[in-house]
Chains A and B, each alone.
Chain A
Amino acid sequence: MAILVDEGTRVVVSGITGREGTFHALRNRAYGTQVVAGVTPGKAGQDVEGIPVFDTIADAVEATGANTSLIFVPPRFATEAIYEAADAELRLIVCITEGIPVRDMARVASYLRGKPSALVGPNCPGVISPGKANVGIIPGEICAPGRVGLVSRSGTLTYQIVYELTQRGIGQSTCVGMGGDPVHGVGFLEALEAFEADPETDLVVMIGEIGGDDEERAAAYVAERMRKPVVGYIAGFTAPPGKRMGHAGAIVTGSRGTAQAKAEALEAAGVRVGRTPTEVADLVAAALR
């Protein structure tokens, strides 16, 4: 089963003829993902190492049966690609692009409400179901198929924790990089809900960071709804208030969004929170024994 992406995933890559788009489309295909089409306006009829290119997502869907969008276009055009994918009724839209104005994203979030498309990102590393499909930029070789679900606001920190799990022989059902922007698509809540319902997932790891209240809301959800064990990690205990730490969303404003408050909320909900990525992997190993 896994969540969001699997063997049935058929990817259309927006921005496939760009440097990053080409590199990752081919890397995802080499992993075994069905990358069936690409979109670059004005380049219809061309191909990228056998992947046909179309002018619009709708054309690509008609010709190839694509059901998942992967977006690599620059920030000022990325929201158009999201609208286009939503209008083509793709079930999943994964937007890797970093640097989209947050008010543009707020309009996107508003438009997507009530629509069948799920958005992951933006400013995210994508989604991988190890052994099944990789949609995005997560390095497939550090993952292994297994029964731990993982959802995270961060990229490389996710790789660190996945790597430590894999080293201990603990594989993953799906890893979801939800991204580091303040307004985003699929979050902890949606991922936790999907993992709870996924018969191939036994335990969930959630990796948060300073800023916003996604973790606090996830804690409330865990306390009320989750039966599967959850292990957590929060980055940014030493981040000073008012300083944006790399991600657009990673900032403590006033007394809100601190790592301390998030860790406490999670622990109060029964989530075991590791103090280091290594301890997270140890807690997962212990919980699975």
Chain B
Amino acid sequence: MDLYEHQGKELFAKHGIPVPRGIVAETPAAARVAAESLGGDAVVKVQVQTGGRGKGGGVVLVDTPAEAEAAAERMLREGFQGRRVNRVLVEERLPIERELYAAILLDRSTGTDLAMVAAEGGVDIEELARERPEAIRRQHIDPEIGLHPYHLRRLTGGLPHELRDLVGNVLAGLYDVLTTEDATLVEVNPLVLLTDGRVLALDAKVTIDDNALFRHPEIEMLRSAFPIDPVEFRAREAGLQYVKLEGRVGIIGNGAGLVMSTLDLVHQAGADAANFLDVGGGASADAIATSLEVVLSDPAVRSVLVNIFGGITRCDVVARGMLEALERVTPTVPIVVRLDGTNAEEGRRILEEAAHPRIVPAATMLQAARVAAELANAEAA
């Protein structure tokens, strides 16, 4: 789960990392009041779970509360890069001496934490890593021993002397966020040195491990701040793994790998998937029925592809779930069904006997993808 900048900064502050004074605003009027209380001039920052805000017009320097109101009004109305925006962060404007970069992330290839510091900030760190890898200091931290002073000395050793302890303190705070809040990434870009000598986190990117949310109910609650698509909401409530995509073929499958592969095959066949939906292992008839309802409720969908390889999941249960859903909703698009694996014959027989006019059986995964793509393109034409 990616946090909003202001949520990340609240975690930073809680763990002793200095951040600018800031106020969250959900209306243009609130942004005006916020700017007033910060002294008039301010920075208005769009709150979205994506990067590239600086370049994309999502960060605006304003000189007056009226300008803050106007900037917030535009951000809330226009959204950001196709995403809905429901809040902005209004922050004090600060005199910046120089910019730095600091981050700690769980490095999956070693299973240890990787801390990184660069003497330049506000940069695209991937680009910097490619072009001048020596500009980034890196240090792996084994979770077994935790963060030690030598790690910090190594990481800050390339910085001017007067900055080392200040940046070291920020890194210690970041490590604290990482370990106590179950984050997999904490990134500050830029970390700034002010003309008065203070070091502050001007931005905050924090990713929390979804698997660990059970022990962080207060972070789970932050989710309610995110604008959510009603279809995605319904899927999540039903415990389904659902991701909305841009195409026209609704996809239902069991197992993340199989579903990703199905998406790829549909693309190769000349159409694109409208969603990723994994019903999971051992899906019940009810889960299948809900999945079908969720996918059919997406107005972009022109055909549906159900691709099930039964392991623990039983194909007869899948077939019954589909018929159950078709009693509740009347589909206006064709539903291509491919069943293999556990009880596949029984599943196929159930669907055949029901002879539902919208169900199109397919013999293989490849054929199913081709037929679903063709039907979607025909329906859209």
Binding site for B on A (CB under 8 A): 75-76, 99-107, 109-111, 125, 137-139, 142, 152-160, 163, 180, 182-183, 207, 209-214, 217, 233, 235-240, 242-250, 254-256, 259, 275-278
Contact = CB atoms under 8 A, between A and B. Distances in A.
B284 interface: no
Contacts of A183: 106, 108, 111
Given A109-B111, A110-B144, A249-B108, A101 B211 contact: yes
User: Chain B: interface secondary structure?
Assistant: mixed
A155 B311 contact: yes
Contact of A238 (B255, B273, B281, B341): B273
Looking at chain A's contact residues, is the secondary structure mostly helix, strand, loop, or mixed?
A: loop
Contacts of B364: 278
A106 B106 contact: yes
A76 B266 CA distance: 37
Contacts of B106: 102-103, 106, 182-183
Contact of B309 (A109, A160, A276): A160
Interface string B272-289: 110010100100000000
Contacts of B265: 276
Interface of B: 50, 106, 108-109, 111-113, 126, 142-144, 178-179, 182, 184, 209-212, 214-215, 241, 243, 245, 253-261, 263-268, 272-273, 276, 278, 281, 309-312, 340-342, 364-366
A106 B342 CA distance: 35
B257 A247 contact: yes
- What 8 pairs across the A-B complex have the smallest Cβ distances? A154-B257, A246-B256, A156-B255, A157-B257, A109-B111, A101-B212, A182-B108, A235-B260
Contacts, number: 173
A250 B214 CA distance: 21
Contacts of B108: 182-183, 211-212, 249
B144 A160 contact: no
A153 B245 CA distance: 23
Nearest to B282: A20
Given A103-B182, A155-B281, A137 B311 contact: yes
Given A110-B111, A154-B256, A254-B126, 5 more contacts: A102-B106, A107-B143, A139-B310, A160-B261, A240-B245
A233 B245 CA distance: 23
